[in-house]
Structure 1
């Protein structure tokens, strides 16, 4: 058993792959062995998490997830002898649950628990020091209703520590979507309270634990393969794109390097206030600063300030940035050798430059209003899709609403399956897609989706997405063969962006300071 820290890559498996692996393992082991191992692992972790607990509530469901809980309760009951620990077991089928109502392994677990004197009650205890959620496991999508819904609501809102067996009840294994808890199943899912949350994922790690609502619901993820690693027997659904945090790495650069060795980044965006009465210059400046601090040799900012009587010509905070009128940056030779970031604060003005960038820039990062321009113009979509055939690298960095516009669907549909939405964008437009949000998803055509393990709600602040675009631009600058390692470098920039937020401390995260803390990648 080990904790999942995000410091290394982890294969993730959805329901179908996990079931296939589970069936193969069960066929190779004596009956009830897998559940016995799972229940023991749960009990050991429960005791480690709450060594001084006086009351443990084990909430069991009607399937093998509930069977795992019964085995865990049996071990806790035996260990509690003479210590005064009270183990309270409730079952969704009632205190007089019949073994005939359960799958064979769970029925065996019920029989052994009762023989050992474990009592099953009708109601949860009024208070408890630890709860074990063994209600519904992988692959369950039914609405949470009645008594089940009430128990799940208690588990999601209690201040006491909660240990979930395999998955938090109601969490979709692939998508990270959390089912609501009322008697119609239609209520929006409650966000778990700040109390301690732990999930022991068994046999395989599931994608839903690391994206969308899964991160809040699961809390700290633990993993136990129960002594039977997957290997290459079943296909991965996704990959947790972990890596060493920037504090443990240092970009090594040759002594004979010069600024040209690390490439140019061109940032085009920042619509001036004269265009529509809404100045967005700061977005492009944030992206440019982030690119410079993240290691680009030179950074040029082309602000869309046509008609302005007071053009921005330099940045007093970051005078190293070089400002040019966009027309001066549109030279084909220039765009072919630079990493171009387009769209940050571009407003309606950016649409005029997008066709030229799509047809000329070999490495192009498209964010914000550049994405909206593509979403509303079929000709631009054709241009975008044709770029990979020329060996060029394109990265799209949408948030869910921008992704919905690109796909012609609703934001709710995007959030219902973030992995599918990101992969569809990548395959449809032949790009690397960075779908931002909790558990940012990074995909490329015909590649296994990757989920970023870093970041938190502190990034819910204006300008942080612009900083990410600039960091990605820097990560891709100076690469002679941009497609060779482009996906890994994009994932590295996303990882660092989230890691910086994770290390932030108590003060409010602001994008300008986030940009300043960016650093070169290895």
Structure 2
């Protein structure tokens, strides 16, 4: 049993169907009730580690195997001298099932088992949420909703909440709360597979610290489950800071390197009153290592950039020149651009080989079918595009009413955007989702709430541009994952909000030292 985050290497993420397939394969390799006994013991061990001086636990157990895990954990805690109260919710388990085995063993051990209507002590050291497992697909009702409210009351009173597999009321794939009642866990112990919903959307906040136990069964030995149905049920990958090291190894600079070999970036944005956004993106591209960085401002006064004299101005007349003179520059468009960048944006979409679209560029595309057509046509030329929307911008691009519609299924929203515009998409937010047609969805494991400040998205767009300038041959999906991992890793460990300009410095500090 180990904590999942931080993770260095890529790890597979699963939805409920693929998790069930793996569970079924694992069950077939062991005698009856072996895995549920291991799971319950694992829950008890983590509980003891989290509350080494605890004396009272309250277990909320549903009728399925999730509840069985909780019952077995309760049995082990009671054997260690804890006072354990178990509230049984819902109908009894199916005869002969693992859950029925766990309930029978709990009764034989003399555990204090309570029916739905019986009150439990509110003062407790530890609460184990074993109500609902992979099968939850709708808002909890009745006794289940009441039990979740009771867990919430005990959490507010100071109890540590440990969820089994997934917090009850959380959608295992999307990471959204299924209804108003959902368990807010301090820790979640998940088994056999890592579930996508624990790492994106509300999942990261509701699951708390995520732990993993393979129950002594290697998923790699259970056969290839990657051939799943096309679309939103396809498993994803969880990626981490290892992407930074991979990029650094592949892009190490030789002793004879010079700025001409490290590519050029132009930032199209920075309309009056919004120049700070373009400044952040351009500075970020420079810090990422681009050889030269230009700013194409709608109303350029030619004055030096504050504290960054390395940044250069891009004269608007250059867009009128033959695209052959600027085609291979990486264009980062939309950071503080407003509507003033629309003419230049059209030119870029029709001529630049590598384009990053953020903020106002995305809003312009969402409102203009001509720009949408130009964006889709880029793929036919073999010109890759990376979109970096936040949920509201994604909603506009998809024609959805609100950001909440995107957050309800971030995986599907990112997939739809990637397919609609034949582009790579970084759907920002907790557990940013990277989607590219014909590539497996990827979810970022790095980052923290320190990034929830103005301008951090501009920094990400600029960093993508800066890395891309140096590595023109990198696959856009891999580039996007690398930049997102770098962006999030730089923010980890910051207790409070991280200002965007300080984020650039933190990201630059993660560069590998020169050989």
Q: Does 1:104 align with 2:97?
A: yes
Please give the residue correspondences for 1:86-485 in structure 2 after superposition, counting only pairs within 5 Å: 86-93=83-90, 98=92, 104-121=97-114, 122-156=118-152, 157-158=155-156, 159-181=158-180, 192=184, 197-231=186-220, 232-235=223-226, 237-244=235-242, 252-272=252-272, 279-305=273-299, 311-328=301-318, 331=321, 332-410=323-401, 411-481=403-473, 484-485=474-475
Q: Is the 8 A contact 2:281 2:461 kept in 1?
A: yes
- Residue aligned with 1:403, SS: helix
- Residue aligned with 1:69, SS: helix
User: How many Å separate the matches in 1 of 2:178 and 2:16?
Assistant: 16
- Matched pairs, number: 491
Q: Is the 8 A contact 2:138 2:179 kept in 1?
A: no
Q: Does 1:51 align with 2:52?
A: yes
Q: Once the 2 structures are TM-superposed, how far is the Cα of residue 304 of structure 1 from its aligned partner?
A: 1.0
Q: Is the 8 A contact 1:239 1:450 kept in 2?
A: yes
Q: Once the 2 structures are TM-superposed, how far is the Cα of residue 342 of structure 1 from its aligned partner?
A: 0.4
Question: Deviation string for 1:272-313 (max 9, x for gaps)?
Answer: 2xxxxxx2111111100111111111110111117xxxx252
Q: Is the 8 A contact 2:289 2:470 kept in 1?
A: no
Residues 315 and 154 of structure 1: CA distance in aligned 2, closer, same or farther (over 3 Å):
farther
Deviating more after overlay: 279-288 vs 321-330: 321-330
User: How many Å separate the matches in 1 of 2:387 and 2:456?
Assistant: 15
Which runs of no fewer than 5 residues in structure 2 stay unpaired? Answer: 227-233
Q: Once the 2 structures are TM-superposed, how far is the Cα of residue 98 of structure 1 from its aligned partner?
A: 4.8
Residues 305 and 329 of structure 1: CA distance in aligned 2, closer, same or farther (over 3 Å):
same
- 1:276: which partner in 2? none
Residues 99 and 241 of structure 1: CA distance in aligned 2, closer, same or farther (over 3 Å):
closer
Q: Once the 2 structures are TM-superposed, how far is the Cα of residue 505 of structure 1 from its aligned partner?
A: 4.1
- 1:185: which partner in 2? none
- 2:230: which partner in 1? none
TM-score normalised to the size of structure 2? 0.90
Q: Is the 8 A contact 1:63 1:103 kept in 2?
A: no
- Residue aligned with 1:106, SS: helix
Q: Once the 2 structures are TM-superposed, how far is the Cα of residue 387 of structure 1 from its aligned partner?
A: 1.3
Q: Once the 2 structures are TM-superposed, how far is the Cα of residue 103 of structure 1 from its aligned partner?
A: 6.8
Q: Once the 2 structures are TM-superposed, how far is the Cα of residue 417 of structure 1 from its aligned partner?
A: 0.6
User: How many Å separate the matches in 2 of 1:210 and 1:330?
Assistant: 45
User: How many Å separate the matches in 2 of 1:239 and 1:334?
Assistant: 39
Residues 302 and 390 of structure 1: CA distance in aligned 2, closer, same or farther (over 3 Å):
same
Q: Once the 2 structures are TM-superposed, how far is the Cα of residue 521 of structure 1 from its aligned partner?
A: 5.8
Q: Does 1:493 align with 2:483?
A: yes
Deviating more after overlay: 399-408 vs 138-147: 138-147
- Residue aligned with 1:28, SS: coil
Q: Is the 8 A contact 2:198 2:207 kept in 1?
A: yes
User: How many Å separate the matches in 1 of 2:416 and 2:129?
Assistant: 34
Q: Is the 8 A contact 2:191 2:212 kept in 1?
A: yes
Q: Once the 2 structures are TM-superposed, how far is the Cα of residue 38 of structure 1 from its aligned partner?
A: 1.1
Question: Deviation string for 1:65-101 (max 9, x for gaps)?
Answer: 0011111111111122xxxx211111113xxx7556x
User: How many Å separate the matches in 2 of 1:166 and 1:394?
Assistant: 37
Residues 161 and 324 of structure 1: CA distance in aligned 2, closer, same or farther (over 3 Å):
same
- Residue aligned with 1:336, SS: coil
TM-score normalised to the size of structure 1? 0.89
User: How many Å separate the matches in 2 of 1:366 and 1:517?
Assistant: 23
Q: Once the 2 structures are TM-superposed, how far is the Cα of residue 64 of structure 1 from its aligned partner?
A: 1.1
Q: Is the 8 A contact 1:166 1:199 kept in 2?
A: yes
Q: Once the 2 structures are TM-superposed, how far is the Cα of residue 227 of structure 1 from its aligned partner?
A: 2.2
Q: Once the 2 structures are TM-superposed, how far is the Cα of residue 45 of structure 1 from its aligned partner?
A: 1.3
Q: Is the 8 A contact 1:99 1:111 kept in 2?
A: no
Question: Deviation string for 1:99-134 (max 9, x for gaps)?
Answer: 56x671111110011101111123332111111110
Q: Once the 2 structures are TM-superposed, how far is the Cα of residue 28 of structure 1 from its aligned partner?
A: 3.3
- 1:275: which partner in 2? none
Q: Is the 8 A contact 1:492 1:521 kept in 2?
A: no
Q: Is the 8 A contact 2:244 2:482 kept in 1?
A: no
- Residue aligned with 2:296, SS: strand
Residues 124 and 478 of structure 1: CA distance in aligned 2, closer, same or farther (over 3 Å):
same
Residues 32 and 155 of structure 1: CA distance in aligned 2, closer, same or farther (over 3 Å):
same
